[in-house]
Chains A and B, each alone.
Chain A
Amino acid sequence: MKRRDVIGAAVGLASVAWMRSAAANADELAAAIKRFADGAPVTEGRVEFDVAPLVENGNTVPVTVRVQSAMSESDHVKAIAIFNESNPQRDVANFFLGPRAGRATVSTRIRLATSQRLVAVAKMSDGSCWSHSVDVLVTLAACVES
């Protein structure tokens, strides 16, 4: 068994260098959302955030974000951002849409270092921002190689 297998197995969890207080993370999360919203208030709603409440492995977590919108020239989703609370950094992914998207639905797979809150924020063509947050429990493979 190679040592790299031992060490490589747990993504991010082996290193404690990035562990910070929960309060600091929550502040950073709020700041990241504020930056994305560009000064506009962020209202809870219009955004669906599909992610399993209990995740078997934090390495690959499927997520889908859906925003209610006509996606017309005059009324559409310009961008969708996903943020987290307890990973080493708050950003996860930002998606840029527009009327040519047809539907404001994006899917990807993300990494979660630990159980935490996720927030999806949608920025509309009129500048308004909408969000939804979910709490996700992350378990690990019990029979770990390390």
Chain B
Amino acid sequence: MSTPTQTSTITVALTGNPNTGKSTLFSDLVGVHQQVGNYPGVTVEKKTGRMEYGGRRYRVVDLPGIYSLAPRSPDEMVTVDVLLGHTPAVDPIDVVVCIADACNLKRNLYLVSQVLELGLPTVLALNMIDVADDEGIAIDVDRLASQLGIPVVATQANRGRGVDRLKEALSAVAPAAFETETPFPGPFEHEVVRLQSLLAERGIGTSRGQPISRFLVRRLLLDVNGYLQKTLLGDDAELLETLREARDRLAVAECGVPGVEIRVRYAWIGRVLDGVVQTPAEYRTTLTDRVDRVLTHRFWGLALFALVMVVVFQAVFSWAEPLMGAIDGAFQSLGAWIEATMAEGALRSLLVDGVVGGVGGVLVFLPQILILFLFIGVLEDCGYMARAAYLMDRAMVRVGLSGKSFIPLLASCACAVPGIMAARVIENERDRLTTILVAPLMTCSARLPVYALLIAAFIPARTYFGVFGLQGLTLIALYAVGMLAAVTAALVLKRTLLRGQAPPFVMELPRYKWPSPRIVVMRVFERASVFLRTAGTIILAVSILVWAALYYPRDTQSVEALPEIQRLRAELASLPADDPRYEQAEAELDRELSGAYQRQSFLGRAGRWVEPVFRPLGWDWRISCAVIASFPAREVVVATLGVIFDLGEGVDAESEEGASRFRATLERATWGETDRKLFNVPVALSLMVFFALCAQCAATLAVIRRETNSWRWPAFTFAYMTTLAYLAALATYQTGMWIRG
């Protein structure tokens, strides 16, 4: 441990149980100077910030909320590595701040007892001291500090009270020689020392070649079949045998693991808390309890939850509408301005169609994403999220997940991006990964324009019993397809790739509190910037690629040689410029030209090339081309279909007129040179089913990459969803044709 000089930065680690107000305290300490990054190789986010006090600079690392330092996975190991100074991602820790809930000291001190073993200067922040007051709990802070042996500062993070005293304690805590007595009995420590020297002899070190510290050796002994045992000893039979023998000896000496840790630590806690806490004799029902009587009620709780979800969705769609319109309009204007000011050519087309069109098409969803982040943030901060997870747990268990997966999957019905990012709260890694992998199957709002158009164009507007419209039912059926696929995929994943024993589902239901606007807004901002950074670059890159594939090669000679083009040019030439039909003829020529260029582009040719693959789905090469072009972003298919069928890219699917023109054009389309109609109900259905199940969203894949910190999972998602979509579309078309004929 280095002795910080006057000019060097002091590194502070912030740790504590979940729901203790740690993020609030972190914000109190660092204000806006915080950033989010990644620890290499794991999915845990690295949250750091900087602060200044008394002329010194401090870097604060906000570690994830944990109940114990016993690592059970690579993600949990990160916290241990950071505290031990074993990770290059963070400087060695100089001071640790443990935050505890004043109303729940007994359990919170369990973690503190483990932290003290590290031998680092530690300060205890006793937070939510106001709630303790309200509930009649009196804590003798000075006595606690003297019995604990470390400084204790009472704080109320949400009002910033006590934060200055905390900073003072941080700066004053002596860096040198922080010794602490181990709470473990003699026989245990004896085994620890023995094992430590044996491991050192055998040259067993951490993954970075450091010798194993006493702290890790204790964890090795205590965590039976734990993560450390698997990674440090692996399959080494001899070492495993030595470990087993050590544990056997401990069992004989009445220090059996892991029970000894619980006994010993809670005994220590009892000694530390002696005479410190005074609680009221009778348990007083709190406001939280009274509210929970309703909110967790089997019937009323669920009913209210459904209501809350409906309100949230309503708000998301209705608030987002005008904003989306504004962004869309802004990008259209930008595109039009560029088109007007620049000379025609590849660069102009790149900017207008590739960059502005592609990026704008995705950014238009930003309002929806932000509003979802906002609602999820508020629900989490006020404490309702845990109740929602409780209510939905029974249903989610049937598909192999837990209640915590519900909100992320529901959010994905608007947009998978916030849904996947919300899956972060699921601690069980297998559950989290499964949720992330099936979230894109939920019918998101980007699919709706495609559905709306195709349904309006091809599903007859029949009504049954005066109530059930066939068109509406088709839409519902498509939603159902998505959800059914998600459920099936989750079950399959849990049984095959992501199989494993699930840890017990224990979830704290925190006290209700008013959501802090500062925290919520900061979180929304943070999530939004992560999204823009992550997805932005990929979307830009893919948009440019698709643009290039649709633009090149620009074979003017062969396009101008086409008979249809020549005919239209002749017609235009024959009309005087002031003839009323001139504009119309010019527009028709433009549309025909766009169509012709796109048809002979790389993507167009690719469409022709893969046509045999898609013919069993009822698609010809033009549809295939449009589908391929929409892989980065689904909504593009409408415009692409428009251009390729000579309708022009300004297909206004929203208006009645636009939709009927679209329908008329598609209905006229035929297979190649034959008279056989291209579009019919089975083709429309197969197209919609394909869109329902296919991973056509570069933004989603980018976010999956970030949340799983590997390329493997987005690649897997892309592969399995595309395969599923293909097979389902195939089945739909073939079944449809079979029913018809």
Q: Determine if chain A interacts with chain B.
A: no
> Which A residues have a C-beta under 8 Å from some C-beta of B?
none
> Which B residues have a C-beta under 8 Å from some C-beta of A?
none
